Amino acid sequence: MKRKIMSTTIHAALLSMALAGGQAQAQSGKLSGDMVKIGVMNDMSGLYADIGGPGSVEAAKMAVADFGGKIFGKPIEVVAADHQNKPDVGASKAREWFDAQGVDMIVDVPTSSVGIAVAKVANEKKRAYMNTGSASKALTNEECNPYTVHYAYDTYALANGTGKAIVETGGKSWFFLTADYAFGHALEQDTAAVVKASGGEVKGVVRHPLNAPDFSSFLLQAQASKAQIIGLANAGGDTINSVKAANEFGLTKNQTLAGLLIFISDIHSLGLKTAQGMLLTDAWYWDMNDETRKFGRRFFEKMKRMPSFDQAAVYSSVLTYLKAIQAAGTDDADAVMAQMKKAKINDMFAKNGYIRADGRMVHDMYLMQVKTPEESKYPWDYFKLKKVIPAEQAFQPLSLSKCPLVKK
């Protein structure tokens, strides 16, 4: 059965590529529904709302405005929906958007379980899907499809950045506190692999539900493990709460916390006093160069906070998508996907980024360290750059991808 599915997807992919090549040359300026409709789907009010949320919608609108607001003289519309971190809500919404409301592309979609659910719908309906919010690398491996682009980061990149850096500084024995869904599992597995490969050991794992109300009993288990490093394979509000509970129970006296996915909004909530010195892997930071600062300040004007890398990636992916429609002369998903996989991505988010056959957007990643309160000179001055991880090393090599679209 699996083999059957695989062969049909490969078949479909080849067919669609052939089709796309033909159409790109043949037509110009053809849009379904006489407009381009972009759907931003994310967690609007829950524990990941600060990472994406309304800020992502704003970022998408900024991209549309920067593109010129119109394409082939036709309007570009941005719609938004809250998936509440529930895969069923996300998948039904995506289905309805594609079926009944003429949405051409869905962007953002944090929470890997929802991210994967929407990828399945995008594949079924043959529409473009640019995921910036989810971390699970399954999106470009087991669950990959010709219509999905994984744009900003993934668990491989996180493990390879933060995990490796910590093991290299001597953190050899680990205990994982893992969010119990696709993302947490993937992050834990990828990090554990890095830890073991570098000669470390994993002493145990405890899984907690998404949006857990109380972390104390999980942290007691972590404490009892006597591991040096407590790896936090969770995100957003869950990470913030685990750090706080760890402080309350005195874990931080003998053990070190390692946040494996930390967003700038988390640092903002925790405060530098608690977060200082933490290592983290970042896909983008607003205070890197003039271009990023310019975007950051514009975003700040509107949202009263600096953008997370997810929000920056939403901006960049919408722009990339619109440019691809322009170049392909149509919003037909096959043609646009083919075009996106051809062109290099150069904007304030990525330099010489490109999208691989498995849907992975490859670009530089950054190992950052959280500044101490003394080092921080102005609001949102939180990170100092420790190391640039070059694109080719940051992500899983294509040869290791389990994606059937990758020709070997």
Residue with tokens 């990470």: 239
Measure Cα distances from 300 to 158, 304, 370 in Å. Answer: 26, 5, 20
The binder of another protein chosen from 9, 32, 92, 252 (CB under 8 A): 92
User: Is residue 271 part of the contact set for another protein (CB under 8 A)?
Assistant: no
User: Is residue 177 part of the contact set for another protein (CB under 8 A)?
Assistant: no
Number of shown-chain residues binding another protein (CB under 8 A): 46
| Residue range at the interface with another protein (CB under 8 A); choices 26-34, 95-103, 293-301, 375-383 | 95-103
User: Is residue 263 part of the contact set for another protein (CB under 8 A)?
Assistant: no
Tokens, residue 204: 């145990």
Whole-number minimum distance, CB 134 to another protein, in Å? 11
| Residue range at the interface with another protein (CB under 8 A); choices 38-46, 187-195, 291-299, 343-351 | 38-46
Of residues 195-254, those binding another protein (CB under 8 A)? 206, 209-211, 213-214, 216-217, 220-221, 223-224, 236-237, 241, 244, 248-250
State which residue, 10 or 79, has the beta carbon closest to another protein: 79
User: Is residue 95 part of the contact set for another protein (CB under 8 A)?
Assistant: yes
The binder of another protein chosen from 20, 36, 71, 91 (CB under 8 A): 91
State which residue, 64 or 243, has the beta carbon closest to another protein: 243
State which residue, 112 or 339, has the beta carbon closest to another protein: 112
State which residue, 2 or 408, has the beta carbon closest to another protein: 2
- Separation CA 349–CA 342 (nearest Å): 18
| Residue range at the interface with another protein (CB under 8 A); choices 25-33, 44-52, 192-200, 337-345 | 44-52
User: Is residue 375 part of the contact set for another protein (CB under 8 A)?
Assistant: no
User: Is residue 402 part of the contact set for another protein (CB under 8 A)?
Assistant: no
Asked if 137 and 115 count as a contact pair (C-beta separation under 8 A), the reply is no
Whole-number minimum distance, CB 29 to another protein, in Å? 30
Please write down the HEC assignment for all residues of the chain.
CHHHHHHHHHHHHHHHHHHHHHHHHHCCCECHHHCEEEEEEECCCCCCCCCCHHHHHHHHHHHHHHHCCEECCEEEEEEEEECCCCHHHHHHHHHHHHHHCCCCEEEECCCHHHHHHHHHHHHHHCCEEEECCCCCHHHHCCCCCCCEEECCCCHHHHHHHHHHHHHHCCCCEEEEEEECCHHHHHHHHHHHHHHHHCCCEEEEEEEECCCCCCCHHHHHHHHHHCCCEEEEECCHHHHHHHHHHHHHCCHHHCCEEEECCCCHHHHHHHCHHHHCCCEEEECCCCCCCHHHHHHHHHHHHHHCCCCCHHHHHHHHHHHHHHHHHHHHCECCHHHHHHHHHHCCECCCCCCCEEECCCCEEECCEEEEEECCCCCCCCCCCCEEEEEEECHHHHCCCHHHCCCCCCCC
User: Is residue 49 part of the contact set for another protein (CB under 8 A)?
Assistant: yes
The binder of another protein chosen from 39, 46, 307, 353 (CB under 8 A): 46
Q: Residues 113-142: x/- map of binding to another protein (CB under 8 A)? A: x--xx--x----------------------
User: Is residue 96 part of the contact set for another protein (CB under 8 A)?
Assistant: yes
State which residue, 17 or 220, has the beta carbon closest to another protein: 220
State which residue, 89 or 391, has the beta carbon closest to another protein: 89
The binder of another protein chosen from 57, 165, 182, 355 (CB under 8 A): 182
Q: Measured between alpha carbons, how far apart are the two ends of the chain, in Å?
A: 22
User: Is residue 7 part of the contact set for another protein (CB under 8 A)?
Assistant: no
Whole-number minimum distance, CB 313 to another protein, in Å? 22
- Separation CA 62–CA 240 (nearest Å): 29
Q: Binding residues for another protein, per CB under 8 A?
A: 1, 44-47, 49, 81-82, 84, 86-89, 91-92, 95-96, 99-100, 112-113, 116-117, 120, 180-182, 206, 209-211, 213-214, 216-217, 220-221, 223-224, 236-237, 241, 244, 248-250
